[in-house]
A and B are shown apart, each in its own frame.
Chain A
């Protein structure tokens, strides 16, 4: 099983700042099979990024993904008030499909 570890656990930033979220895998993950999701309280997760760097439909270009092998990054270039939420990475290349434990992005 591929374990995904996200860091930091909580990130405190202000609107307009840049956010960098990390996802590290216990073994190599093909860049084809790495995704990022955003979840707000009381809502289902929403797909942001798939295939490491492709934005899902309707996702603004301030969200970008990068990485390879065991290290992947989600970057939000300029934080908007609606971006404060919990973010999860996921690998879906091999069963069991696994998620990271999440990074909470909170307003400073």
Chain B
């Protein structure tokens, strides 16, 4: 079964850091671009980072300079290092895949999500 399992969420004070992880199984991880998408409580979906199969990373302005996405193809793992966290970063974070070399393909497999709470 193709699967993504998110972990690493928790509670942190403003200004703190957290590292999320995503374990992939059941498919060839190195063939996929990987993304993180978050969702605040009762809110919509927000894309927060992407990393290509070659390690090329992209971020929206809201997290650029604070978040770092990385991957280890040998371990089928994706990471998100989050620094300088604020209340606006409180959300469920989802790991998502998108097939490389398939322009029409979108986010077809999602992790179950991991909750990040920034409290004061």
Contacts and interface: CB of A to CB of B under 8 A. Distances in A.
Chain B facing A: main interface SS? loop
Given A88-B44, A95-B58, A100-B44, A50 B106 contact: yes
Contacts, number: 58
Interface in A29-78: 32-33, 35, 37, 44-47, 50-51, 54, 56-57
Contacts of A92: 98, 106-107
Given A44-B111, A44-B112, A92-B98, A99 B44 contact: yes
Interface of B: 35, 44-47, 50, 58, 60-61, 94, 98, 103-108, 110-113
Given A46-B110, A97-B35, A98-B47, 16 more contacts: A35-B107, A44-B112, A44-B113, A45-B107, A45-B110, A50-B104, A50-B106, A51-B106, A56-B108, A57-B108, A88-B44, A92-B106, A92-B107, A95-B60, A96-B61, A99-B47
